[in-house]
A and B are shown apart, each in its own frame.
Chain A
């Protein structure tokens, strides 16, 4: 009985980090200790608008953007954030206008998350 309770407690605590996002969603690197944000996107097209899906286990998105750190510039267009409820978002009209490494930044009221994407 005690071991069963322990097993349930472990499942609840260890599973909660991904309970807010689909299994195939990718965790975003964060300034916080554990990933609380996940995204899913297809390989972005070059110089064409694209969308991605975002899930937050904790907090609310306040800003989303992307930059090319090596080139010291960001996107030419402001993306559109659509809140779907329960921490889920769709981010539309992102556009990467150059090939190379882009860093997506998701800022919430709790932490800032990053995800790197390289366009060929």
Chain B
């Protein structure tokens, strides 16, 4: 008997009860990252937002190469529904290699600005840009109108929007947006932890892995991650310099938000423009009031951290292959690459290997 007990103590690891490692201040911060999922209200600038028929038409068009002038691409060619609505390549491949990583579309309706440079202030405008981009789907409004008229979608389109005319491009954008608004991820292990904390159920919260809890503490504290990755969608929706080079070649740069603002000001498709269906122009304050400064050059929109496990590689140019690389990028960030007139937030973190692993473990719990 005694030898059996001794053998058990030798072979069985000591099991400490699971616990919540966070202090009350950290818990208070955690609660600000939810609840999730968050279903936004319908978009008043899009009269078919939330319309089941528009959603069905939008999904069909999303997957159909009719939206390319020569049938070369569908939206899904880059925003692959089987691949997290993105692609595994660092940069998107249109008719030429494009400058940026394909943004994933999960939870896209949560944003205020769309695209890495914020060229659009609404989802339907962002959806129509690739359709007429010469390096992408390359339609003109006229060729798109003709293609739609001759297609099997004409009847569904007419039922929603009336006759096919010069507004076809915008209306297709609105149908695509109605579909994309439905792409919302579900609750994750982090959300279960957060919700348990909110209701005071520490026993349930303690089921959240301790490595993820330690990573979360870094995220909330020394990592300074929450300055940009805030809220339920883990993004403040704004534009920052994350120390990722914006040179495309020795002679080309990606201006990021700086050019995005320029494009926005020249676009007729903003929330302040004639194609918005909202008579109140309720979202137009942003495009009216947004400031453009020199420090916007080479800044890119803060992506959401939800569903990252499905959307590698990362950063605006897809230069970081996995989450370990992302954390190491911030851990060893080169301040010489940062804008001299920009924000003073990022600095090398000096995390240990264990802490790097913990932060990665936390980030992984933001995916279903």
Contacts and interface: CB of A to CB of B under 8 A. Distances in A.
Contacts of A114: none
Interface residues of A, number: 20
Contact of B289 (A47, A93, A97): A93
Contacts of A93: 285, 289
A60 to B, nearest CB: 21
Interface string A76-120: 111110000000000011000111100000000000000000001
B236 interface: yes
Contacts of A73: 295, 342-344
B228 interface: yes
B285 A72 contact: no
Interface residues of B, number: 22
Given A97-B238, A98-B230, A77 B286 contact: yes
A70 B32 CA distance: 22
Nearest to B343: A73
B105 to A, nearest CB: 21
A71 to B, nearest CB: 5
B231 A46 contact: yes
B290 interface: yes
Nearest to A79: B289
B363 to A, nearest CB: 19
Given A73-B342, A77-B286, A97-B236, A46 B230 contact: yes
B238 A47 contact: yes
Contacts of A120: 28-29, 32
Chain B interface mostly? loop
B236 A49 contact: no
A71 B231 contact: no
Contact of B231 (A47, A72, A80, A100): A47
A47 B227 contact: no
A20 interface: no
Given A47-B231, A77-B286, A71 B345 contact: yes
A98 B236 contact: yes
A97 B29 CA distance: 16
A75 interface: yes
Name the residue among A46, A49, A76, A79 with the largest chain B CB count within 10 angstroms: A76
B208 to A, nearest CB: 22
B226 interface: yes
Interface string B245-277: 000000000000000000000000000000000
B298 interface: no
B291 interface: yes
A77 B29 CA distance: 25
Contacts of B32: 46, 120
A46 B226 CA distance: 11
B343 A78 contact: no
B237 interface: yes
Interface in A11-59: 46-47, 49
A49 B289 CA distance: 11
A99 B345 CA distance: 12
12 contacts: A46-B236, A47-B231, A71-B227, A72-B343, A73-B295, A76-B290, A77-B290, A97-B237, A97-B238, A98-B228, A98-B236, A100-B227
Given A97-B237, A99-B227, 16 more contacts: A46-B236, A71-B344, A73-B295, A73-B344, A75-B291, A76-B290, A76-B291, A78-B291, A79-B289, A80-B289, A97-B236, A97-B238, A98-B228, A99-B230, A100-B227, A120-B32
